[in-house]
Amino acid sequence: MLAKRIPTILPKLSFEEALEVTKIHSIAGKLSNSFPIVSTRPFRNPHHTISKSSLIGGGKIPKPGEVSLAHNGVLFLDELPEFNKDVLEVLRVPIEDGKVTLSRVLSTVTYPCNFMLVASMNPCMCGYYGSDKKCKCTEESIRRYIGKISGPMLDRVDIQIEVNSIKYEKLNSNEYIETSNEIRKRVNFAREIQQQRYKKYGIFSNSELTPKLIEKYCKLDKESKSILEKAFDRLGLSARAHERILKVSRTLADMEGKLNIEKNHILEAISYRSLDKKYWRA
Contact residues for Zn ion, defined by CB under 5 A = 124, 126, 129, 135, 137
Q: Which is nearer to Zn ion, 135 or 255 (CB)?
A: 135
Q: What minimum distance in Å lies between the beta carbon of 138 and Zn ion?
A: 9
60 alpha-carbon distance from chain centroid: 30
Q: What does the alpha-carbon distance between residue 2 and residue 117 come to, in Å, rounded to a whole number?
A: 15
Q: How far is the CB of 159 from Zn ion (least distance, A)?
A: 24
* Cβ distance to Zn ion smaller for residue 98 or 130: 130
Cβ-based nearer residue to Zn ion, 162 or 256: 162
Q: In the complex with Zn ion, which residue's Cβ is closer, 143 or 197?
A: 143
Residues 157, 146: Cα–Cα separation, whole Å? 15
Q: Is 248 helix (H, G, I), strand (E, B) or coil?
A: helix
- Positive or negative CA dihedral for 254, 263, 239, 146? negative
Q: Supply the minimum distance, in Å, between the C-beta of residue 84 and Zn ion.
A: 22
Q: Which is nearer to Zn ion, 135 or 267 (CB)?
A: 135
Minimal distance in Å, beta carbon 82 to Zn ion? 15
Under a CB-based contact definition with an 8 Å cutoff, are residues 88 and 95 in contact? no
- Residue 121 CB, nearest distance to Zn ion (Å)? 12
Burial 59-88 (b: 16+ CB within 10 A, else e): eeebbbbbbbbbbbbbbbbbebbebeeebb
